[in-house]
Structure 1
Amino acid sequence: MKEVSENKNIPKHIAIIMDGNGRWATKKGAMRIFGHRNATKAVREAIEGANSLGVKYLTLFSFSTENWSRPKAEVDALMELFVRTMSDELPMLMDGNYKLESIGNVESLPPSAYETLKRVEKTTSKNTGLKVILALSYSGHWELTNAAKHIAQKVSEGKLNVADITEKVMASHLETANYPDPELMVRTSGEYRISNFLLWQLAYTEMYFTPVLWPDFRREHLFAAISDYQSRERRFGKTGEQVKS
């Protein structure tokens, strides 16, 4: 495995689809929630690994709008686990100077989960280090639909002209309006799809897929993804010759 060059093109924003908890548990003959419970170390490793290289934003796809359709027992257990994990990991966030933020329809979370999320966000709000962004009750379709509604509302109120709707205006109405688009997206578990995640923002993002199941993910796996990213040429529609010149 190539080593990460700390002086070369470290992505400012990395997004991760944390996949494979259920399969990890199944392989061990346990219930799916066992996999979710054992994913905390992977989250911590990703956060600390990203921070050690100077990454500024780390977005973690934690719970999609589609996940609400899973068996109620699993969803309830996930929400209970979320509350406990947020409380347990708050000291780590404070010690590391990490700022926790969230995107998605978080108001749809159960009251205990929503209140815990907001408490941790408020407690870490003055931290100045890596921003850890949790995508909760989130999907790209939901985000784009929501943005379109807000833009349409402004048009109907005469606050915005149709002719003035640009890509910049659209981006400003997304959940990620205050963040740069990710340069690198990592998905674990060997699946090759983006699963309705950051559909607008990933337009020119470099993608890295690994067969490692999320509970087994460690900082060396993150470093492998970053090393691979550093070997790529990002052209944004230009030719290779144009980029080199």
Structure 2
Amino acid sequence: MTATPPSPAPAPRPPRTQRLPRQQRPESVTYMLWLWLGALCGEAVHQVLNVVLTLLNHDVLMSQAKEMAKSAPAGVDEAQLSDAFLRTAAYASVALSAAISLAIIVLLAFLLRSLARRGKRAGTSRRVWFAFSLYFGFRILLTFMVTPAGADVPDWLFVVDGMVQILVGVAAVLGLIFSVRVDTLDYTGELEQMRELEKELEQAQREKKRAEEERKRAKDDQRSKRSDREDKR
């Protein structure tokens, strides 16, 4: 009987490369993102309530549309204004305002997503959110100063809308506080940009100082040459 040759040993498997642990966000960045996300959701709710309040307050809406039509450059008479025209103009203004608000919310959501993913525009996103946070915080004061107009809207709806605006302002301001910390600026890359800018300024100052020294040295050389010529004479 012929002996069967031994089967070749299996080739050793290459060692698995261990995955590097994902870099965790600093706590200040995490708090900032959650607070601004809450402010964004609250702002979306506020804009929906704002549209509902405007549509429910029908008399004020129609009177505003009539005033806008009267103040037009063409000068439309009140007798020529039909109810259908006023209603169309009023609803068109509400739709335009809602579209602008929706565009702003989408823009803020895109910037917040870029900031969360630490994209190239993270620094720009943080600065834009910083500006809007100041606006949301300032709007809290306007909430207590503005008196609601019209009696067609229930009072509890105004109260809910005011509470939402206050919560949005508080969340935005708290996120603003976390956005100016050193860890956050390092996360967005703005701290490195500031360091590079400082280096460029220092280098520019050194070059300027060197140019002044060379200019002064050249003047001293000219003076020494003049004095040598005068001595020779």
Shorter chain as normaliser: what TM range? under 0.3
TM-score after normalising by structure 1: 0.23
Higher helix proportion (structure 1 or 2): 2
Give the structure with the larger strand fraction: 1
In our comparison, the structure showing a higher alpha carbon Rg is 2
